[in-house]
Amino acid sequence: MIVESDQDIKSLKAIGHVCAMALQKMISEARPGMTTLELDNIGSEFLKKEGAVSAPQSMYRFPGATCISISPIIAHGIPDHHVLKEGELINIDVSAEMDGYFGDTGASMVVGKQIPEYEKMFEATKSALAKALQVAKAGEPLNLIGKTIQEEARQNGFNVIKDLTGHGIGHKLHEEPASVHNFYKSDERFILTEGLVLAIEPFLTTGKGHIVEKKDGWSLQTVDKTIAAQFEHTIIVTKNEPIILTI
């Protein structure tokens, strides 16, 4: 989507804020002993209260309102009766629609405690996202985002997951560009334009950087069962700093 009016910006900020608040509420309430389905219900109820609709449910008939992935699953994890344990690495991804506009955000966390190994990966992933946002400017090549993420991952001793990407977003959950890669892709010729709406989401791992789909048809697990992290923001590209919608 290309933003064309102040109303577009206002509406994108509104749904972005709702997604961000839902994510933060889920992170703050995740605790040992609760199920991922209970955690999903917290997010679902918040979205409903704000007048938003779960994007994965409405668009893809996903079994949950949000995606809750338990390591080594890193994406599209189905909320169920799994009981969260202290020290468990999880990822929460919230995407929703309101008034015809979509937002998408996500974060990784450890349940109930801090683990230095995981914290190092979280900080590297958040740093990769921050640096990617700095280069997401009108006139720059799309692949500069991937190059920046990949370089930051390597400098911190991690690999990117090449099979998972960010994407265009706006009036649909997934729009052009279909893939915002987390690595440098030499044949990518797409140029960022002012007003373009993107979901940028670095995935970093200690492993080989590939995933495999589980038998449930949704959950995506690192192929070597290594740990991974993801952090995501939805933004509007400008000539300068992007407008971050999911703050």
Q: 86 near 112, Cβ under 8 Å?
A: yes
pLDDT score of 222: 98
Q: Label residues 220-243 b or e (16+ Cβ within 10 Å = b).
A: bbbbeebbbbbbbbbbbbbeeebb
> How far is Cα 30 from Cα 197, in angstroms, rounded to an integer?
30
What are the tokens at 124?
A: 């590297």
> How far is Cα 63 from Cα 161, in angstroms, rounded to an integer?
24
**Does residue 121 form part of some domain?**
yes
Tell me the per-residue pLDDT of 111-162, one tens digit each, with 9 for 90 and over: 999 999 999 999 999 999 999 999 999 999 999 999 999 999 999 999 999 9
pLDDT score of 165: 98
Tell me the per-residue pLDDT of 156-198, one tens digit each, with 9 for 90 and over: 999 999 999 999 999 999 999 999 999 999 899 999 999 999 9
**Does residue 1 form part of some domain?**
no
Q: Give the chain's domain count.
A: 1
**Does residue 123 form part of some domain?**
yes
Tell me the per-residue pLDDT of 14-58, one tens digit each, with 9 for 90 and over: 999 999 999 999 999 999 999 999 999 999 999 999 999 999 999
**Does residue 14 form part of some domain?**
yes
Q: 232 near 19, Cβ under 8 Å?
A: no
pLDDT score of 29: 98
> How far is Cα 132 from Cα 141, in angstroms, rounded to an integer?
12
Name 137's Cβ contacts closer than 8 Å, sequence gap at least 6.
192, 237, 238, 239, 240, 242
**Does residue 186 form part of some domain?**
yes
User: Residue 42's domain spans which residues?
Assistant: 6-244
Local confidence band at 98 (pLDDT 50, 70, 90 cut-offs): very high
Beta strand spans in 73-118 (E):
73-75, 89-98, 101-110
**Does residue 164 form part of some domain?**
yes
Tell me the per-residue pLDDT of 17-26, one tens digit each, with 9 for 90 and over: 999 999 999 9
pLDDT score of 104: 98
pLDDT score of 89: 98
CATH code, domain carrying 147 = 3.90.230.10
Angle ∠(60,71,42) on CA atoms, nearest 5: 55
Local confidence band at 62 (pLDDT 50, 70, 90 cut-offs): very high
pLDDT score of 239: 97
**Does residue 147 form part of some domain?**
yes
Residue 125's identity, in one-letter code, is: T
pLDDT score of 201: 98
